[in-house]
Amino acid sequence: MCQILKIAKSTYYYQTNNCFKYDVNNYEEEVISAFNKSRKIYGARKIKAVLMRKDIILSRRKIRFLMIKNNLVSKYTKLKYRNHKTMVNNDQISNVLNRQFNNKKPNEVVISDLTYVRVGGKWHYICLLIDLFNREIIGYSVRPKKPLN
């Protein structure tokens, strides 16, 4: 249509800005009241949204300027990680070997070790069964997930 009328596309899409400039100081009370109504939690972004619902257009920069001018600092809570105590591995196991690792018979004492290795870009768990008589690996298990008990 613009080609037929021989006008530029920018002329067709041009919209006049009917915005008029606000005096920032007139809306200082609005910013303060929006901040206090939010129980002093809102920052400049949320205050801007509240003011836009009242058809007041102020930039975040101007809102931030008014907040700094009036010493308005938003308080917000950060979710903190809380360590929950679990009842895993709380069984009292007696010390049968008493650090005597030199055994005289094969398969008298078998120990296990659980570790993980990276294979093909993925982590896999490996559990080894080792005979303490000659430190020989007598069994193993490999899984992509940690084995249960």
Domain boundaries, the chain: 24-81, 110-143
pLDDT at residue number 96? 82
pLDDT in tens, 6-27: 888 877 776 655 555 556 678 8
Average pLDDT score over residue span 70-85 = 79
pLDDT at residue number 71? 92
Order the strands of the 110-119 sheet from edge to edge: 110-119, 122-131, 136-143
**What is the b/e burial string over 10-31, where b = at least 16 CB atoms within 10 angstroms of the residue's CB?**
eeeeeeeeeeeeeeeeebbebb
Give the integer Cα–Cα distance in Å for 122 and 143: 11
pLDDT in tens, 36-60: 999 999 999 999 999 999 988 899 9
pLDDT band, residue 78 (cuts 50/70/90): low
Query: Is residue 31 a contact partner of residue 54, using CB atoms and an 8 Å limit?
Result: no
Decide: helix, strand or coil at residue 47.
Answer: helix
Number of neighbours of residue 127 by Cβ within 10 angstroms: 15
In this model, does residue 113 exceed pLDDT 80?
A: yes
pLDDT at residue number 64? 93
